[in-house]
Structure 1
Amino acid sequence: MQNFEELANQYKRMIYHIIHRLHLYKNIEEYYQIGLIGLWEAHKRYIPGKASFATYAYSFIRGRILSELTKMNRHDERCVCQDHAFFETAHDFSVKQPLELEMLLAYCGSLTKKEKLWVIYTFYHDLDIKEIAQLEKVSISAVKKWRKTAIEKIKMRFKE
């Protein structure tokens, strides 16, 4: 281990040089640690006589840092983490707009009271036929009839 600490001190400038050449300005210490891991792996895998250790270590450290950059970029592209300010300014689109009901009722001028109820329950409150029948204490077939006649009347109105 003492041997690697000496090696790390010897190649410290090389690791920072690689970080600088890759134009990394965030998380420099993290990339330095990744460079040290690359140096460790280069030290373990180096075969004397093939090439100089400095050249081998440089390419190994650079490759390790580039692999980590690719991994981090892939993560950033796939995972969107919003900061706290985003949630303070985000709008709740599920909240009904103030004039939405009035706009909906503008299409219901020729409908009966029950047909208007079906339109409001269906399009404003997002209820299905069974829920409407339970709320109004009527049969499901009655609600279906309200739906059928309401749709016919609205279609006729648009044809005119």
Structure 2
Amino acid sequence: MKEFEMLIQNYEPMIYKIMKTLNVYQRKEEFYQTGLIALWEAYQKFDAYKGSFSTFAYSYIRGRMLRDLQRNIRDEERNVYPKEEFWSMIEDDDADPLMQANGNILALCNECHLTKLQRKWVEYTCIHMLSVREIAEVEGVSISAVKRWKKEAKEKLRISLLSKA
């Protein structure tokens, strides 16, 4: 590991020089780390028969930083990250859509003249997303009783909705 630490000392100015030539002004620490990783990989892959290490390391580090710059640009183009002021300016018209849905569902139950048990089925199914078995467990009744509530409620709702259409 001492050998690589010496390599870092020798090639650190090269990493900073590449960052400067590529106009890296944001995320400098991230690109410095990219440079160190690229230096390590260049050190691992270097073949002395193909040329000098400094030339190989320069092109390897520069290529890795260019790839990361292109990736960052592509991500910024594809993704929009609004500033904090944007979120404070938005008014919340639909503060709680579940409450609005509850109101609409309960109003529909009133229009259809559902019984208390049929309303329970609608509420548990549409608002709480429970299955027939879960409703039976919560209410302490048989599954067939809940199925009966379901059948009767669906029929009344169907008739009411068809009459409106």
Q: Report the TM-score when normalising by structure 1.
A: 0.60
8 Å Cα contact 2:46-2:56 kept in structure 1: no
CA distance 1:18–1:137, shift in 2 (3 Å): closer
Instruction: Say what the alpha-carbon RMSD is for the aligned residues.
Output: 4.3
Structure 2 CA distance for aligned equivalents of residues 33 and 157 of structure 1: 66
Counterpart for residue 143 of structure 1:
146
- State the alpha-carbon separation in 1 of the partners of residues 8 and 131 from structure 2: 70
Could you say which residue in structure 2 is the equivalent of 1:105?
106
Structure ID, larger Rg: 1
The equivalences for 1:3-152 within 5 A come to 4=7, 7-8=10-11, 12=13, 14-29=14-29, 31-32=31-32, 34-35=34-35, 41=42, 45=46, 47=48, 55-66=55-66, 69=68, 73=72, 97-108=98-109, 109=111, 110-152=113-155
- 2:150 alignment partner AA: R
Match of 1:154?
Answer: 157
Q: Is residue 16–residue 32 contact of structure 1 (8 Å, CA) maintained in 2?
A: yes
Distance of aligned partners of 1:156 and 1:19 in 2 relative to their CA distance in 1, 3 Å threshold: same
**Conserved? CA contact 1:46–1:56, under 8 Å:** no
Cα drift, residue 29 of structure 1: 4.6
Gap runs ≥5 in structure 1? 78-84
Q: CA deviation at 1:64?
A: 4.1
Counterpart of 1:80 in structure 2 is none
- Aligned partners of 2:46 and 2:53 also within 8 Å: no
Q: Is the 8 A contact 2:19 2:31 kept in 1?
A: yes
Identity %: 43
Preserved contact between residue 15 and residue 61 of structure 2 (Cα < 8 Å): yes
Q: Offset at 1:123?
A: 1.6
User: What is the deviation of 1:153?
Assistant: 0.9
Q: 1:148 to 1:16 in 2, by over 3 A?
A: same
**8 Å contact kept, 1:34–1:65:** yes
Aligned to 1:81: none
Structure 2: distance between partners of 1:120 and 1:128 = 11
Against the structure 1 CA distance between its residues 63 and 101, is the aligned structure 2 distance closer, same or farther, given a 3 Å change threshold?
Answer: closer
Aligned partners of 2:11, 2:60: CA distance in 1, in Å?
A: 14
Mark the CA change 1:158 to 1:51 in structure 2 (over 3 Å): closer, same or farther.
same
